[in-house]
């Protein structure tokens, strides 16, 4: 069996935790798991500390310098976990991203992995060694250190598992899996033992903090089974499997798998533009150039001859740069009368489930319970497997609670 085991920040957060990883690896090695590659994050809090240092030194540091500094946390973890393995009598091969040929594109701070040298790991295994790999980092073809974006070591682990054609990729963290809602908000939230990639991806993108959306996307693309487990728990403890469901499992799966919430959402409304201009395209191009992810978009196309309007949401932290991007097109033709307004203090609440495909009436129940709980719905967006709405942030927890009560 070939396995990639990723350990996140809290799982490598102290010397004791590192020794616990080594003890587990030693036990598994003696039980025959000789094809194991370990991927580690920086120790808990370390990447934040490094990001903060860069900001203090130079808030507009070049992306290359920034990545060089923030990628450093993983190096410490690799060295320490390797040393811990040695103390258990194992042979470790410590590897930074570039030593494993983790080549990425040059989009610093959000680089994408292009290739990994599988032979380096296979050689280590042939020599009875356990490779310990730095997550989060890579190197460009021009030899610059890159990082994959915050939370990116999950993605490193899945990419390595795919490159190795591993049997599974294990994500060791400080929770025992994915829940049907945030257990801090919804007390009745249930542990999900097994879920399909689609629901996992929606839930990751919609704010469930357990997995990085890109890691789920990559796992889905290559159908790599993911296991989320708590590294503080015993081996027999429950965990969440993310993998294709059998036909029976899919048929039996609940209409709604989970309810997720994203807070700190802002809404921008742009009104008063001529329908015969390229303004929508220009607007969203500028916003994309400002590196903002636009979420829910509602466009009102009024009857011929009337001016149009568009409303959309962005993370509150991106509000200022988005407004600046919009201002930059206000001098273009047809944009003189643009009115821009904004609203903060919003949240997005969503219900996700592949079962929605085959069940009707979900939307009716969804809006019915929100109405019953007097939660004002400001915007709505749906896909085949989810319904999301924008609500005031102050009502978000209540909305999640009543939706969970209704569907789960
Ligand atoms: N250490 C990096 C971060 O804090 C990567 C990761 O933990 O996944 O974002
Ligand atoms: Mg993480």
Residues 6+ apart with CB under 8 A from 193: 177, 238, 239, 240, 241
How far apart CA 51 and CA 71 sit, in angstroms, is 10
Distances (CA, A) of 127 to 21, 27, 341: 21, 19, 63
**Burial letters 4-38, b for 16+ CB under 10 A, else e:** bbbbbbbbbbeeebbbbbbebbbebbeeebebbbb
Q: Which of 12, 135, 145, 151 to mutate to test the pocket of ligand 1 (most atoms within 8 A of CB)?
A: 151
Residues 6+ apart with CB under 8 A from 236: none
Nearest CA to ligand 1 atom 6: 151
pLDDT interval class at 121 (50, 70, 90):
very high
Ligand number with the minimum distance to the CA of 212: 2
Ligand number with the minimum distance to the CA of 150: 1
Q: Which of 73, 150, 171, 216 to mutate to test the pocket of ligand 1 (most atoms within 8 A of CB)?
A: 150
Residue 8 Cα to ligand 2 middle (Å): 6
How far apart CA 197 and CA 243 sit, in angstroms, is 6
pLDDT interval class at 336 (50, 70, 90):
confident
Reference 137, options 82, 70, 193; nearest CA is: 70
Residue 1 Cα to ligand 2 middle (Å): 25
Is the torsion defined by CA of 200, 201, 205, 210 positive or negative?
Answer: positive
pLDDT at 276: 74
pLDDT at 304: 67
386 has pLDDT over 90: yes
pLDDT at 301: 75
Q: Supply 110's token pair.
A: 């959000």
Residue 11 Cα to ligand 2 middle (Å): 10
Mean pLDDT rounded to a whole number for the chain? 94
Residue 153 Cα to ligand 2 middle (Å): 7
Q: Of all residues in the chain, what percent carry a pLDDT higher than 90?
A: 81
Reported as a single tens digit per residue, the pLDDT across 52-74 is 999 999 999 999 999 999 999 99
Nearest CA to ligand 1 atom 4: 47
Instruction: Let me know: does 260 contact 207? Beta carbons within 8 Å.
Output: yes
Reported as a single tens digit per residue, the pLDDT across 5-50 is 999 999 999 999 999 999 999 999 999 999 999 999 999 999 999 9
Residue 126 Cα to ligand 1 middle (Å): 30
Which residues surround ligand 1 with Cβ inside 6 Å?
8-9, 41-42, 47, 73, 135-136, 150-154
Ligand number with the minimum distance to the CA of 172: 2
Residue 148 burial class via C-beta count within 10 angstroms: exposed 0-12, middle 13-18, buried 19 and up: buried
Strand-by-strand arrangement of the 113-115 sheet:
113-115, 103-104, 137-139, 145-147
Q: Of all residues in the chain, what percent carry a pLDDT higher than 70?
A: 99
Reported as a single tens digit per residue, the pLDDT across 231-289 is 999 999 999 999 999 988 888 888 999 999 999 999 999 998 887 778 889 999 999 99
In ligand 1, which atom is closest to the CA atom of 9? 7
Strand-by-strand arrangement of the 379-383 sheet:
297-300, 308-315, 258-273, 339-352, 386-392, 379-383
pLDDT at 8: 95
Residue 8 Cα to ligand 1 middle (Å): 8
Residue 51 Cα to ligand 1 middle (Å): 11
Q: Which of 8, 11, 40, 42 to mutate to test the pocket of ligand 1 (most atoms within 8 A of CB)?
A: 42
The mean pLDDT value for 353-360 works out to 86
Reported as a single tens digit per residue, the pLDDT across 219-235 is 999 999 999 999 999 99
How far apart CA 320 and CA 335 sit, in angstroms, is 20
Reported as a single tens digit per residue, the pLDDT across 151-209 is 999 999 999 999 999 999 999 999 999 999 998 899 999 999 999 999 999 888 876 77
Ligand number with the minimum distance to the CA of 151: 1
Q: Where are the beta strands (DSSP E) in 8-47?
A: 35-40
Q: Supply 375's token pair.
A: 């939660």
How far apart CA 264 and CA 143 sit, in angstroms, is 37
* Distance between first and last Cα of the chain: 36
Residues 6+ apart with CB under 8 A from 299: 280, 308, 309, 310, 311
pLDDT at 253: 81
How far apart CA 401 and CA 357 sit, in angstroms, is 23
How far apart CA 249 and CA 128 sit, in angstroms, is 39
């Amino acid at each position: 069996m070939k396995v990639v085991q990723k350990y996140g920040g809290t799982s490598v957060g102290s010397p004791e935790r590192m020794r616990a990883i080594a003890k587990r690896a030693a036990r598994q090695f003696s039980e025959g798991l000789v094809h194991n590659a370990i991927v580690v994050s920086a120790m808990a809090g370390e990447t934040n500390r490094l990001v903060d240092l860069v900001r203090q030194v130079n808030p507009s540091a070049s992306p290359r310098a920034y990545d060089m500094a923030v990628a450093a946390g993983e190096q410490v973890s690799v060295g320490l976990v390797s040393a811990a393995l040695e103390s258990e009598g194992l042979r470790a091969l410590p590897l930074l991203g570039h030593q494993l040929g983790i080549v990425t594109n040059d989009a610093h701070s959000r680089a994408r992995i292009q290739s990994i040298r599988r032979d380096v790991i296979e050689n280590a295994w042939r020599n009875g060694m356990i490779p310990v790999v730095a997550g989060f980092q890579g190197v460009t073809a021009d030899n610059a250190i890159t990082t994959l974006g915050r939370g990116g070591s999950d993605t490193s682990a899945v990419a390595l598992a795919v490159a190795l054609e591993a049997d599974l990729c294990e994500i060791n963290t400080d929770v025992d899996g994915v829940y049907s809602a945030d257990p801090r908000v919804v007390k009745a939230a249930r542990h999900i033992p097994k879920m399909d990639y689609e629901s996992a991806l929606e839930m990751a993108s919609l704010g469930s903090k357990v997995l990085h959306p890109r890691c789920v996307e990559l796992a889905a693309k290559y159908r790599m089974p993911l296991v989320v487990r708590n590294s503080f728990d015993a081996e027999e403890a429950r965990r969440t499997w993310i993998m294709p469901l059998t036909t029976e499992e899919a048929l039996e799966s609940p209409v709604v798998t989970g309810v997720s919430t994203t807070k700190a959402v802002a809404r921008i409304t742009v009104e008063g533009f001529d329908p015969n201009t390229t303004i929508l395209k220009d607007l969203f191009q500028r916003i994309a150039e400002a590196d903002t992810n636009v979420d829910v978009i509602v466009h009102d196309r009024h009857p011929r001859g009337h001016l149009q309007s568009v409303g959309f949401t962005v993370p509150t932290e991106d509000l200022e740069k988005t407004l600046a991007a919009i201002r930059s097109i206000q001098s273009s033709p047809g944009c003189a009368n643009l009115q821009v307004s904004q609203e903060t203090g919003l949240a997005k609440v969503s219900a996700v489930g592949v079962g929605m495909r085959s069940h009707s009436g979900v939307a009716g129940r969804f809006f019915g319970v929100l109405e019953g709980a007097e939660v004002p719905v400001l915007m709505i967006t749906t896909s085949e497997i989810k319904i999301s709405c924008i609500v005031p942030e102050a009502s978000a927890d209540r909305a999640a609670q009543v939706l969970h009560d209704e569907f789960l």
